[in-house]
Structure 1
Amino acid sequence: MRRFEAWFGLWVVRRRWWLLAASLVVACLSAAGIMRLEFINDSRMYFSEENPQLQALEMLENTYTKYENVLFVVEPKSGTVFERHTLSAVEELTRQAWKLPYSSKVSSITNFQHTWTDGDELIVEDLVREASLLNDAELAAIRRIALAEPLLVDSLIPARAHVTGVNVNIIKPHDDADASRRVALAARALARQIEAAYPGITLHLTGGIMVDNAFGEAPRRDMTTLMPLVLLIFFTVMLASLRSLPATLATFAVVFMAMLTGMGLAGWLGMHITPASANAPIIILTLAVADSIHILVTMLQQMRLGRNQKEAVAESVRINLQPVFVTSLTTVIGFLTMNFSDAPPFHDLGNIVAMGVTAAFFYSVFFLPALAALVPIRVSTVSEKRAGRFADLGRFVVARRTPLFRWLLLLMVVMTAGMSRIELDDDFVRYFDHSYDFRRASEFSIANLTGVYIIDYSLESGESGGINEPAYLAKVDEFARWFRSQDKVRHVYSITDIVKRLNRSMHGDDDTWYRLPEQRDLAAQYLLLYEMSLPFGLDLNDRINVDKSATRLTVTLGDTTTRQVREMEELGRHWLEENAPPVMHSYGSGLSVIFSHISKRNIESMLTASVVALLLISAILALVLRSFKLGLVSLLPNLAPAFMAFGLWGYTVGQVGLAVSVMMAMTMGIVVDDTVHFLSKYRRALREHGTSAPEAVVYAFKTVGAPILVTTLILAAGFTVLAFSGFQINANMGAMTAITIVFALIMDFFFLPALLVMLEGRLPVEKAGSNSPVRAAKEVP
């Protein structure tokens, strides 16, 4: 292996022109695939086909009408909805909303199908017609009817009547990935049109389509706002550490080529850009820097020892080839384990980054040395002084090893204990910060009109036409009343409210008849008569299945979280099991329910991923270090940072959501990099020079301390930039990863060296000249 490393270093320098040309060709061919990448605007992308909650939702949608929605929340400046100006605006908005792309149904207080009787004739008509011509008495009557209707109150009109809603059902085509964005753009244009035509009216847009659109906006924003900041930070840190503009630009060339290759290959492989995978360019740029830094720093060290530039390049490649390969391999393994995630976007993120890191390794050992052998690079004397300071740090750690070991062990225990405070929770509204229109509109809707978390139940009767059975209707109505008594419930949509209203209308609008019919044939006749009277687009297909054997009951929750959605769904299911016949037993469904389970499912799947990553990385370390014991010793400083980061998160935040659930497996391959480089230099000194463990620790600090610090700063800075994303999944993942990397630096600089010195004599050391994969650098004095 040592002969191969020496031969490879010389070969790269000799073949530099060919390697430069070949690398550029590969990068260009790969980058061409970027043109094939598409942004996906669909909140369902976070759910795999095997997800049982998604399967339940699809079954519900196959039974009833499948739709998503745009909800216009109308806020009149006057503070009252039931006036001519506001109702005219709602009436016009309702008419125009039918023209939105893929619109299938529009519901508002103006086109609410009010029922009454004229003699023996059932009249079904819009609640509001020609609002501008209504007199005060008619406005008062409309207000009274609307605020007494269970299907409207806290759904399209609150009890205060200070705002109202216009809900548009959208049926998107399966083959149009951009449908949500186009509907959202059209809805925003319509909102501006209404606001201009009706002064004093403000519209807030929320709903499923706007969720999808926000998921599509997130990656575009991050890629355009965060990328320049990352590049500026990287350039500043690298220039300050390398003290060489050519070396800094060479590193930039490598990381850009790695990023373009990773993203281009993703395009060629048919992957899509999602809010999660949109992080890939920043993460690749961040991780790709490490290999280049180690190679360039070693090259500069060799040049200060008197080698010419080409010899220094060859020697740097010889020294770093194996550790750079190992660190790249462990990083790739960490990201590939993201394929265990229950959320497909994290599969793409892991695979894209893995391809980018692999490309970074090849560019670092082929392109970078070839370029460094051609471009004139001057050596700064500052690095020599820096190496001396790191040697002093090594001596400090050796001298204070026992108290450092004890205090850091105590810190690990205390920080890890914070994990007990962590709760699994998510809130997809708060996935987006207040710079997103969707977040502001949704919070306004929750506070003033209705909620955005919805649970749907499909309640079977057991026979065709069975929904008209009085016993069935009574049980559905009882279930609806139970839900309305729950604190977190804002609104319940039940077909029984329509049946009771029809029964009252058919009895001369006498309120004493606002109850369910006692005979099956009456209920069937009322529903049939009502459905035949409904205008086009306002049918009950989204409430009743084709053979009238089941109905859909929809529960809307107020200000809540996914954990509370999960709890409410379970309570509803248990109520059915205890109070309803077996045929009516049903699981709650809907996007809210799926989101409420995804963090739990993801953590369960990523526990397996973490174990796989741990086993593979441990085996690699033991093989490379030629020592099972040393590989075992290295595990503690590599595992502890993630646990400490989770503990700190538990103390400070308390909630773990979708993004944080993939963090442990992902970071395991990153934090091991510094350990590999430190142990590589530590063993080189022990084996080749017969130094003691304390001397080997000082040598490791002197030779690799600066690169470890620089790469850690770059990694932490890159992921910290992600923490400023307006998309919470990206922000939390960036923050947790940055925290983990900082803890890893503390462990590698203070805990690992102290542990190595304390275990002196208990770890096997190969004699000089043995067939070890790590050779001593010629700069050893």
Structure 2
Amino acid sequence: MIERFGYGVIRWRYWILLATLVSTALAVVASLSLKFEADYRVFFNEDNPQLLAFEALQDTYAKDDNVVFVLAPRDGRVFTRETLQAVAWLTEEAWQIPYSNRVDSITNFQHTYAEGDDIIVEDLISDAKDLTEADIARIRDIVLREPQLVNNLISPTAHVTGINVTVQLPDQASDEKTPEIVAFARDLRRTLRADHPDIEVYITGLVPTNNAFLEVSQRDMMVLVPAMFGVILLLLWLLLHFLSGVIATILVIVSSTMIAMGLTGIIGISLTAVSNIAPVVILTLAIANSVHILTGFRRSLHEKDKYAAIAESLRINLTPVFLVSLTTTIGFLTLNFGEIPPLRDLGNIVAMGVTVAFILSVMFLPALMAIFPAPPPLLATASGVRAMRGLGEFVVRRRTLLMWCTMGVTLTLIAFLPRNELDDEYLKYYDESMDIRIASDFTIENLTGLQRINYSLNAGEEWGICRPEFLHKVARFAAWYREQPEVVHVDSIVDTLKQLNQNMHGDDPAYYHLPERRDLSAQYLLFYEMSLPYGLDLNNQIDMHKSATRLIATVQGLSDNELLALEGRAQRWLRENAPALQTHGVGASMIFANVSYRNLRSLLLGAVIALLVISLILVVASRSVKFGLISMIPNLVPMTMAFGLWGMLVTKVNLGLSGVAIITMGIVVDDTIHFLNKYLHARRKQNLESPDAVRYAFDRAGVALWTTSLTLVAGFLVLTLSSFSLNSSMGIMTAMIIVLALFTDFLLLPPLLMKWDGSRVLKP
């Protein structure tokens, strides 16, 4: 039947070529509708509890979407006339940033003080160019004593200052507006640098971080795709040694990739910084089938003409190539069990690409080879074939030693598995060469943290936030947070009320405490709100009904586990000291910190299902429970060895690595299927003893296995050039697992087969 299929492909070759070219052309058109999502929210499900809680908080108070300018004068002094003029100019111009609705800096900070019987509320600096040295000294003293500013908009040593611009992005088309906002901010930076060359300006914040998802994807595509094509061309020429095979394989993998991306556009899957690497992964995986079929084709040319050799290669390779494609597809599809939508999208896109690559490799590739001139036969004396025969002989003779040595190394590396820790820092997803990473690192080291834990503390009634007992609990919670070593700044309404209480008593420092009566707090807040200019109201701290207030703890460069540990301590404090106020901390950082563990739990279920399905496939393919189970050993060993090695050398496992085990489970089984297929053919069809069947498998499949593995390793190592750490770490780990899988398939699987198969003749 398979042989008839092969001759059918040859007969209809021109129609197959036409259908493939038309499909590819249509896919190119469809791919033009692909959209890119540049928002950290794409990493979470719409029903993610932390995301829903954060969005509810942002609906109650001001949103957290912001652009932060960090100004660092080269002389290390913020409080000079030139620097303060620059801050004042940028503060004013930042209002022109698209969708900005609030700008905070040390120059427009609403300073309050008593003047006779009046309370004055005004910008701290109204005209920077007219400041005297005495004015600057007075302003410096005010700023460095203000808890709302220090470690927030001014460093304690006054060598760096920040300007925070809050933006109200439209719910629709926010991805299109983000680059516009960042471009405007960069224009302002360019202008300020030209006017003040001695002031360095950094840009960070949530909006630039979101925009970096788009920029890193564009950067990766400019680097990864050309690099991948270069690697493919080099490897294909070195491995195949004939031009028509290289051309045919290139056409197969390019068409597979384009059709997969076209289907992605038709389905409506949006690209992200993670799923954007799908073309590179498809290009890598699509090569293997072509190499196996072309290798079998050239081997058959010894005894057959071109058409018969094509049909023979399909007869030998169609089943293993189908099984390989099926298991790889299953591996990527099981990413759908995870909690990370971009990883699910990556799995679905690659699964489509692998499926298309299988169809093209068994139809389009043979059709091309039927048209191209026949290449020279693959000589049995070729260096690669001789090397595989020598390796096969070595494995047969040293099988017991190899089995125990491999198992010993495996057990040693397994001992390091517990050292792995699921931990991440989403602010470090970007390469250190990227502007956003440089700016974020500088801000964290010199000014303030970029991770914020938000609490909406509910008083339970309108104007309830003015109750003294409520405010004292909020103040105690804020004081507890300030005592934590990880915290650099705490923002709450109690600081404003303390300052107003002092102002109302003639600026007497003895009155820097909360008002003692509810009506006084309400009056102070009402007076203060009425005195504030446009855009600087208290909506970022209190809700419209005055029934809840927001407390923000800013932390500095914590990993996910450290962040969760801090929030856990906060929950314990609330439970023991203010149970009526207890609520979970929310924020972008908290969403990332929580999703890792839920994603791992979900993927573990996917891994179990994938393992069971792939095991069943191997049992059915080998028509033997014994061979199916034996073949799973060299597929599980590489993953455990790789993660053990990772635990020994690195220990931290990020979101990108969490899906690698499932992905590679489908990939590494490929070599096992091809080796086992040739082994069982020798045992069942040629009645060879187990050692001779191993030699036959090395002779017939060895070259193709190491060449496809080399290609896969090279392809996934290309991902290490990515500027996005989730992609680069995924590439490193996958390449490592594939290398270890090749070693176990060559050094562990054959000894296992010879030990457990015995010498009896197998039924065909």
Q: Name the residue aligned to 1:330.
A: 327
Assess if the C-alpha contact under 8 Å between 1:683 and 1:765 holds in 2. Answer: no
Alignment partner for residue 169 of structure 1, among 157, 166, 169? 166
For the residue of structure 2 that corresponds to 1:117, the secondary structure is strand
Separation (CA, whole Å) in 2 of partners of 1:186 and 1:581: 45
Alpha-carbon distance between aligned partners in 1 of 2:137 and 2:691, rounded to the nearest angstrom: 89
Opposite residue 279 of structure 1, the aligned amino acid is I
Does residue 34 of structure 1 match 2:31?
Answer: yes
Q: Partners of 2:520 and 2:381 in 1: how far apart?
A: 95
In structure 1, what is the equivalent of residue 116 of structure 2? Answer: 119
Cα drift, residue 308 of structure 1: 1.3
1:435 aligned residue: 433
Cross-structure match for 1:625: 622
Q: 1:726 and 1:67 mapped to 2: Cα distance?
A: 26
Provide the TM-score with structure 1 as the length reference: 0.96
Q: Give the CA deviation at 1:31.
A: 2.5
Letter in 1 for 2:205: G
Counterpart in 2 of 1:475? Answer: 473
The answer to whether the aligner puts 1:728 opposite 2:725 as a matched pair is: yes
- Note the C-alpha offset of 1:381: 5.4
1:384 CA drift (Å) = 3.6
Deviation by residue 1:287-327 (Cα, 9 ceiling, x = unmatched):
00000000000000011x23111111111111111111111
198, 202, 205: which is aligned to 2:203? 205
| SS of equivalent residue, structure 1 residue 433 | coil
Aligned to 1:450: 448
The alignment of Structure 1 onto Structure 2 pairs a total of residues equal to 762
Match of 2:413 in 1: 415
Which residue of structure 1 aligns with residue 746 of structure 2? Answer: 749
The 3-state SS of whatever aligns with 1:546 is coil
- Which whole-Å CA distance do the structure 1 matches of 2:379 and 2:133 have between them? 85
Identify the residue that residue 69 of structure 1 maps to in structure 2: 66
Task: Answer yes or no: is the 8 Å Cα contact 1:67–1:172 preserved in 2.
Answer: no
AA partner of residue 341 (structure 1) = G
742-751 or 44-53, larger mean C-alpha shift: 44-53
Q: Which among 16, 22, 42 is matched to residue 19 of structure 1?
A: 16
Structure-1 residue corresponding to 2:234: 236
* Distance in 2 separating the partners of 1:384 and 1:529: 94
- Does structure 2 retain, via aligned residues, the 8 Å contact 1:613–1:665? yes
Deviations 1:636-688 (A, max 9, x none): 11111111111111111110011000111111100000100000000001011
Q: In the alignment, what sits opposite 2:298?
A: 300
Structure 2 counterparts to residues 147-226 of structure 1, below 5 A: 147-176=144-173, 177-226=175-224
C-alpha separation between the residues in 2 aligned to 1:533 and 1:407? 78
Question: Which piece of structure 1 moves more, 737-746 or 22-31?
Answer: 22-31
Quote the offset at 1:765 in angstroms.
6.0
Give the equivalent residue in structure 1 for 2:508: 510
Matched residue type, 1:369: P
CA–CA separation in structure 1 for the residues paired with 2:538 and 2:735: 52
Counterpart code for 2:629: L
CA shift, 1:601, in A, is 1.5
Distance 1:477 1:605 in 2: 40
> Is 1:340 matched with 2:351?
no
Deviations 1:124-156 (A, max 9, x none): 100011111011111111111101100000000
Counterpart in the other structure of 2:599: 602
Structure 1 counterpart of 2:570: 572
Q: TM-score, normalised by structure 2?
A: 0.98
**CA shift at 1:380, angstroms?**
5.5
Q: Which SS does the other structure have where 2:480 is aligned?
A: helix
The alignment partner of 2:416 has SS state of helix
Inter-CA distance 449–669: structure 2 relative to 1 (3 Å threshold)? same
- Checking the alignment, whether the CA contact within 8 Å between 2:689 and 2:761 is kept in structure 1 is no
Corresponding letter in the other structure for 1:611? V
Q: How big is each residue's C-alpha offset from its partner over 1:595-631, in whole Å with a ceiling of 9 and x where there is no partner?
A: 1112212111110110111011111111111011110
Partner of 2:634 in structure 1?
637
**Distance in structure 1 (CA, Å) of the matches to 2:619 and 2:176:** 49
**d(CA) in 2 for partners of 1:549, 1:224:** 52
Instruction: Say if 2:96 is the partner of 1:103.
Output: no
Return the alpha-carbon distance in structure 1 between the equivalents of residues 747 and 400 of structure 2. Answer: 10
Question: How many angstroms does 1:180 deviate by?
Answer: 1.6
Q: What is aligned with 2:609?
A: 612
The CA deviation string for residues 66-114 of structure 1, in whole angstroms up to 9 with x for no partner, is 2311110001122111111000000000000000011010000000000
Aligned partner of 1:45 among 32, 42, 46: 42
Residue 533 of structure 1: which of 531, 534, 537 is its match? 531
Distance change >3 Å, CA 383–CA 110, structure 1 → 2:
farther
Map of 1:245 onto structure 2: 243
For residues 297 and 173 of structure 1, the distance between their equivalents in structure 2, rounded to whole angstroms, comes to 56
Q: Look up the equivalent residue of 2:612 and give its one-letter code.
A: L
**Alpha-carbon separation, structure 2, partners of 1:562 and 1:335:** 26
Give the match for residue 776 of structure 1: none
Corresponding position of 2:763: 767
Deviates more, 1:288-297 or 1:384-393: 384-393
1:220 is displaced (CA, Å) by 1.0
Following superposition, the deviation at residue 559 of structure 1 comes to 2.7
Give the C-alpha shift of residue 30 in structure 1.
2.2
Contact 2:63 2:166 in 1 (8 A): no
Cα distance in 1 for residues equivalent to 2:444 and 2:380: 58
Whether the aligned pair in 2 keeps the contact of 1:243 and 1:380 (CA below 8 Å) is no
Alpha-carbon deviation of 1:20? 1.0
Amino acid at match of 1:767: K
**Residue 526 of structure 2 aligns to which amino acid in structure 1?**
L
1:276 maps to what in 2? Answer: 274
Quick one: which amino acid aligns to residue 572 of structure 1? Answer: A
* 3-state secondary structure, aligned to 1:373: helix
Query: Residue 771 of structure 1 corresponds to which residue in structure 2?
Result: none
Of the structure 1 ranges 384-393 and 468-477, higher mean CA displacement relative to structure 2 is found in: 384-393
CA contact (8 A) 2:295 2:378 kept: no
Superposition map of 1:615-694 within 5 A: 615-694=612-691
CA apart distance, 1:761: 2.3
Query: 1:509 & 1:169 partners in 2: Cα distance?
Result: 31
- Give the one of 549, 552, 559 matched to 1:551: 549
- 3-state secondary structure, aligned to 1:339: helix
Match of 1:262 in 2: 260
Q: Provide Cα deviations, 1:246-269, integer angstroms capped at 9, x if missing partner.
A: 101100000000000111110111
Q: C-alpha offsets along residues 266-286 of structure 1, whole Å, 9 cap, x if unaligned? A: 011111111110110000000
2:361 pairs with 1:364: yes
Q: Distance in 2 between matches of 1:475 and 1:631?
A: 64
Shift of 1:352: 0.4
- Percent identical pairs in the alignment equals 47
Q: Distance in 1 between matches of 2:6 and 2:386?
A: 27
* 1:582-601 map, 5 Å: 582=580, 584-601=581-598
Which residue in the other structure is 2:347 paired with? Answer: 350
8 Å CA contact retained: 2:232, 2:711: yes
Instruction: Mark the CA change 1:221 to 1:383 in structure 2 (over 3 Å): closer, same or farther.
Output: farther
Aligned letter for 2:391? Answer: L
Structure 2 unaligned blocks of 5 or more: none
Distance 1:572 1:239 in 2: 61
Secondary structure of the residue aligned to 2:748 is helix
* 1:51-62 matched pairs, under 5 angstroms: 51-62=48-59
CA deviation after TM superposition for structure 1 residue 351, in Å: 0.5
Distance 1:765 1:198 in 2: 86
Equivalent position amino acid for 2:535 in 1: G
Residues 64 and 206, structure 2, Cα contact 8 Å, conserved in 1: no
- 1:367 offset after TM fit, Å? 0.3
Q: Over residues 417-437 of structure 1, what are the superposed CA-to-partner deviations in whole Å (9 max), with x where a residue is unaligned?
A: 211111111111211111110
Structure 1 letter corresponding to 2:168: I
The Cα of 1:382 is off from its aligned counterpart by 5.5
| Contact 1:247/1:377, CA 8 A, preserved across alignment | no
